Structure 1
Amino acid sequence: MTTEALHRWVRPPYLLLPLALLVWLLSLRTVDLAGMDDLGLLQVLPAGYWVAVVLLTAGFWLALRDRTVPVRWLTGYLLGLVAMIHATPALLYPTLRYSWAWKHIAVLDAMLRSDGQVPHAGGFDIYNQWPGFFLLNALYLRVTGLESALGYAAWAPPVVNALLLGPLLLLYRSFSTDRGLVWGALWVYYCCAWVGQDYFAPQAFAFLLFVTVLALVARQLPGAAPGGGAHASGSPERAGPPRLLPLLAVLLLEAAVVVSHQLTPLMLICVLTALALPRRNRRAVLPALAGAVLLTVLWDTTAARPFLARNLPEFLDGLTSPDSNVVSGLAGLGAAAPGQVVVAWVDRGLSAAVILLAVLAVWRRPWVRRTALPLMAAAPLPLLLANSYGGEMIFRVYLFALPACAFLVTALLRPTARSGVRATAAVAVVLTLLGGLFFGYYSKENMNYFTPGEVSAVARMIEVAPPGAVIVSVTGNVPGVASHYDVHPRVQLNQESEDVRRQLATDPLAALARATAFAPPGTPFYLVLNRGQAAECYLTGVLPADTVARLGTAVDEAPRFAVVDRNDDAAVYRYVPDPG
């Protein structure tokens, strides 16, 4: 190697990426998961982890300013960021993270046993009516010979986020050929995606397809052809007719979205409708919009009709209560743990900052007003007024608006001229946004993490519980408790009536009796108590923090409760009421 070549490879952009990854991996060796409390992983990740994050950020922005650094190195930095954020729990935890991921494993297993639609699904019947994600995974398991998705589901967050890099890059290159702007927007996106809808779930799958559809449609918009200057001009010339192959790909992706998730098709229709408002866009957008509307209506009036018919009154009520829909996700914080109150305000601050910076970009950067980006960012808002989506709509609107908002934020932060001061300020803002993401993404890990003891206790319960036995838990934060949901009725005490929840604090055994009174006389029920439920009660305040402990003490002292399994993190009890 020549001296000139050696000098090239010892520059900071080439050194900081491997150094940051090495420091990150070494830092994970000293993490004590038992030390998590109010702030989850934030409390137990060592200083080396945060040093690695800063090194990676510095290296990326140095590489972005040096046009001699190949694009593959920028890709490496972005994948390194994805790994540091999203692969860290997968590397640290010996079990699958997050209770909803476990529920989706249970749904997939039930569909495999039933060769499709699951009978007697109860509250899980919504998955029978939007089964696309699960059937695709079932096909993969059948082809590969794997018995369960449990082995790879833990890696869904890093994989989904890594796969998003491709469609996001395609989308951003539709609006600019400025390398710094495009790749900077990718970094900003990953720094602000705190909502956490990237686990093993239909939403993660549908969101990936949603962004891909937007990217393919955006490539057909006027002024979106690559090589057209520093920025896409958004010129008023009319778009040509959509090319056949991209249109077929869009229709196929839309079909996959429609059969997999109930909300994402509506978000897609909102965004495509917004893109079709300018007349010059319509020849490119209307075929995709017509396909999305037709497929959604066809599916919702056939396969999904039972669910929609049952929930139509709730949907109509939501349309008449836009004010309550907007604030439904901003739950009261009085009962939450002190650390979670701080986290809630950080999350709100991060989201507000992203939206404010995006609005400022539209004002301060006139060229972005000639693109479709402002329409893409604002399009999900009508759904926030239409329905609360169980209190989650405000977070889903942020999720679907973020791809456009991240680009707008970067357009605002990117210096219009080469200036070291402005570049440093931009990096400081990005680091602040990244810090906010860690609060939102890592702060609930004390309840998202399950120990092997919790998993083994629940597995033992499912193994011995006969069909028809009722399974009772305080909250739903139990790994694998939904297994065989088609043969085990479930009782979740925090979802019972207010009277039962109040009685749970004064007379736990009487509350248990009332909650299980629906079962035929003599039906056994199994009560599962675990560390994760106690953590959820403490962190969220859904029930008093000592609920799990008090209930455990009560059943330990009561007759007819037999211990099925017990360890340091979980206990399972069996109770058979007197048939008389």
Structure 2
Amino acid sequence: MTDLSDLPPAWSGRRALAWPGLPLLVALALWAYAMRHTDVSRLDDYGLVSALHPTFWAGLAVLTTGFWFTVRDPRRPGAWPAAYVLGLLVMERATQAVLYPTPLYAWAWKHEAVIDHLLTAGGLQTADQVGDMAVYDQWPGFFAAQAALQRLLGVDSAAMFMAWWPLASSLMLLLPLLLIYRTFTEDRRLIWTAVWLFCVANWVGQDYFSPQSVAYALHVGVLAVVLRRFGRSAVRRGRPRQAVWTVVITVMIVAIVISHQLTPGMLAVCLLALCLSRRYRDWVPLVTTVVIFLAWCLTAALPFLSAAMPDMIRSIGDVGANVETGYGATPTGTGAIATSWAARLLSGSVLLLAAVGVLRQRVLRHRARPLLLVAAAPLPMFAASSYGSEMIFRVLLFMLPGAAFFAAAALLPKVRTLAAGAAAQETGDRQATGTARSRRWGIGTWVPLAALLGGTLAFVPAYSGKDRINYFPPQEVALVRQLFDQAPDGSLVVAANRNYPDAYASYWSIDHYWFLDDARSHVDKIVREPAATLADDMAGVERPARAYFLLTQGQLANSEMNGQLDKAQLDRIRKSLAASPRFRLVAENGAGWLYALKQSGGAER
């Protein structure tokens, strides 16, 4: 156990207990005002950052400052730090749901299509039936649960609630995080500061409507149970109780394994790291994870793994390639580069603070060593796979619970064991107390506050700096739905990339071709001779099916900001199709254009 109670309270009496509510209410009022006065109709390359009303930033600063002075006073009720963290999550994760009339992220829309397919097909299907999308039928846990939830709520689509999923998935993380941190300290200042840092450093975006969001929460939940119930002291308290907790983690591990490919591997390396410490020599959680994971890989997931295994083997040990972004994933333009660096600096600062906390806090370095091992365990995964050029972000994500704890320790005073604190009190160590009081308003207060405030503000560009890519206005949604409402089975939809809503709608009956995924030589040919090349690419579609070309605002933003084709090149392609006698305009609005390839023989519709 650790204790940070050497800091005296700033205020006393009723005012000390009541005043934390004032900054919290002011911050939420400023946030509410900002939501009413923020216009997201014309986002630039800085995403939501440049669109937010200034009162949002003021509210975030007030919230952070109020939290810092609240959490440092041990006499304040423990509910106040919790209230501030909930306020932070509202400002962080609910802002986009309030401002945007449609859900964010093309991947979230893709997952909605998978659920729709599951409900339509009435069961799982193979690659012979749905092609590459069969991978989702081989890890169906999340989608089956969401299909059941959709039916339970009586809604037509998961799009009705998936905009609020980032807030819901973030709330799911609070309990396991608190359990983990309370395993190593009872001081609520360290606990809640660690939770705060976890929230502001968790910009990676795993919280959207995805299997990763649930699998990650379950991953942290398994670690919480293992850290609290599978240590040597817990095992000695009784095997019957241990069996109950084994059943609990087994259920969670099964849910992880059937929902997500990467998380079981991350969980296994974290549990292995714990087994290497003296305090956690119970191999049951690790063996359970490995056995369930292997059983799933050798049965339900075997078709996918058989096809992907050669590439997976080649990527082992190739760290440079595994962390390289590559073509189509390189931030381009001032806004994209600035927000990318904000994310890097935020993660780097938290990791640096964590290193300072490990070096500075000798007590925690010993007592929280298992958490330090868990934080370091994902690092070897750099050498295992590129995971679609996202492995670096996933490693940071799985390091974050431990890193946030030690980063919080760097912002707080020196810790001492409870026994040492009691001994100091008995001997009347008033000199130390006086020194702490004299530093109350000194560098030990304002420098950590500046660091906390900087990290909290940096979260916004790191998390929502790409909203020009991720947001699809209602006009874009309407245009895409018009396409799929009229496209006969067997039709082909051609687009620059898959960054548009409902990009995978009816994927079991309609084919898709995203030409920016093709070889660079073919992309260059399309740029040189757009209409002729695309007409040849689309010519194989036979009646009654149709071949469509779709270009939308989301595709333009994704291509420009990720270093592919710029706006002038995409405009040239669109104008070439508009002038070609082989294409006709089907629909257009302020968010995009839809063309159809004219078919020979018979009247055009």
Q: Equivalent residue of 1:546, what SS?
A: helix
The aligned counterpart of 2:118 is 111
- Which whole-Å CA distance do the structure 2 matches of 1:524 and 1:35 have between them? 33
CA 223–19 in structure 1, closer or farther in 2 if over 3 Å, else same = farther
Alignment counterpart, residue 479 of structure 2, candidates 443, 446, 457: 457
Tell me which residue corresponds to 1:202. 211
Residue in 1 that maps onto 2:383: 385
Structure 1 residues 278 and 238, CA gap change in structure 2 (3 angstroms): farther
Which digits, 9 at most, give the CA deviation of each residue in 1:363-390, with x for residues without a partner? Answer: 2222233221211111111111111111
Q: 1:94: which partner in 2?
A: 101
Deviations 1:204-231 (Å, cap 9, x if unpaired)? 1100111111111111254888xxxxxx
- Deviation of residue 546 (structure 1)? 2.6
Correspondences of 1:314-393 after superposition (within 5 Å): 314-325=311-322, 327-329=323-325, 336-370=332-366, 371=368, 372-393=370-391
Mapped partners of 1:281, 1:166: distance in 2: 22
* Partner residue in 2 for 1:232: none
The aligned residue for residue 4 of structure 2 is none
Aligned residue in 1 for 2:404: 406
What do the CA deviations read for 1:142-162 (whole angstroms, capped 9, x no partner)? 233222211111100011111
| Alignment-derived partner of residue 255 in structure 1 | 254
Mark the CA change 1:115 to 1:19 in structure 2 (over 3 Å): closer, same or farther: same
Matched residue type, 2:364: V
Give distance in 2, aligned partners of 1:523 and 1:121: 18
1:572 pairs with 594, 600, 603, which one? Answer: 594
User: CA shift at 1:98, angstroms?
Assistant: 1.1
Residue 424 of structure 2 corresponds to none
Counterpart residue number, 2:165: 156
Offset of residue 356 of structure 1: 2.1
Q: TM-score, normalised by structure 1?
A: 0.92
CA 1:252/1:333 → structure 2, altered by over 3 Å: closer, same or farther?
closer
CA contact (8 A) 2:488 2:544 kept: no
**Does structure 1 conserve the Cα–Cα contact (< 8 Å) formed by 2:232 and 2:281?**
no
- For residues 211 and 518 of structure 1, do their structure 2 counterparts lie closer, same or farther at Cα, with a shift above 3 Å needed? farther
1:301 corresponds, among 298, 303, 310, to 298
Letter in 1 for 2:269: C
8 A Cα contact 1:239 1:280, kept in partner: no
SS for the counterpart of 1:172 is helix
Any idea what SS the aligned residue of 2:594 has?
strand
Equivalent position SS for 1:257: helix
Query: How far 1:545 sits from its partner (Å)?
Result: 3.0
From 571, 580, 585, the counterpart of 1:549: 571
2:452 corresponds to which residue?
430
Pairwise CA distance, 1:244: 2.0
In structure 2, how many angstroms separate the alpha carbons of the residues matched to 1:332 and 1:557?
A: 28
Whether contact under 8 Å (1:362, 1:368) holds in the other structure is yes
Aligned partner letter, 1:255: V
Deviation for aligned residue 1:339:
1.6
Deviation at 1:188, TM superposition (A): 0.8
Measured in 1, the distance between the counterparts of 2:488 and 2:245 equals 52
Output the CA distance in 2 between the equivalents of 1:489 and 1:397. 34
1:239·1:282 contact (CA, 8 Å) conserved in 2? no
User: Deviation of residue 46 (structure 1)?
Assistant: 1.2
Partner residue, 2:522:
500
Percent identity between the two aligned chains: 37
**1:233 aligned residue:** none
Q: 3-state SS of the aligned residue for 1:466?
A: coil
Deviation at 1:58, TM superposition (A): 1.1
For 2:309 and 2:501, the matched residues in 1 are separated by: 32
- Residues 488 and 545 in structure 2, CA contact (< 8 A), matched pair in contact too: no
Aligned residues: 562
- Is residue 173 of structure 1 aligned with residue 210 of structure 2? no
Give me the whole-angstrom Cα distance separating, in 2, the residues matched to 1:333 and 1:104: 21
TM-score with structure 2 length normalisation? 0.88
Where structure 2 has 5 or more consecutive residues not aligned to the other structure, the ranges are 1-11, 415-435
Report the counterpart of residue 49 of structure 1 in structure 2: 56
Q: Which runs of 4+ in 1 moved over 6 A?
A: 237-240, 330-335
- Structure 1 residue 524, shift from structure 2 partner: 2.1
The SS at the match of 2:280 is helix
Distance 2:347 2:327 in 1: 16
Tell me which residue corresponds to 2:466.
444
1:108-161 per-position Cα deviation (integer Å, ceiling 9, x unaligned): 001000112146222211101000000001112223322221111110001111
Distance 2:554 2:161 in 1: 22
Please provide the CA RMSD for this pair.
Answer: 2.3
Q: Which has the bigger relative contact order, CA under 8 A and spacing at least 6?
A: 2
Instruction: Verify the 8 A CA contact 2:212 2:260 in the aligned structure 1.
Output: yes
1:397 is aligned, of 389, 395, 408, to 395
Q: Could you tell me which of 73, 82, 86 is aligned with 2:89?
A: 82
User: Considering only CA atoms, is the larger Rg found in Structure 1 or Structure 2?
Assistant: 2
Which of 41, 44, 65 is the matching residue for 1:58?
A: 65
Check the 8 A contact 1:475/1:533 in 2, yes or no: yes
CA–CA separation in structure 1 for the residues paired with 2:149 and 2:294: 28
SS at match of 2:260: coil
Alpha-carbon distance between aligned partners in 2 of 1:314 and 1:173, rounded to the nearest angstrom: 42
Is 1:415–1:423's contact at 8 Å kept on the other side of the alignment?
no
| CA spacing shift, 1:532–1:499, aligned 2, 3 Å | same
| Unaligned residue ranges in structure 1 (runs of 5+) | 226-236
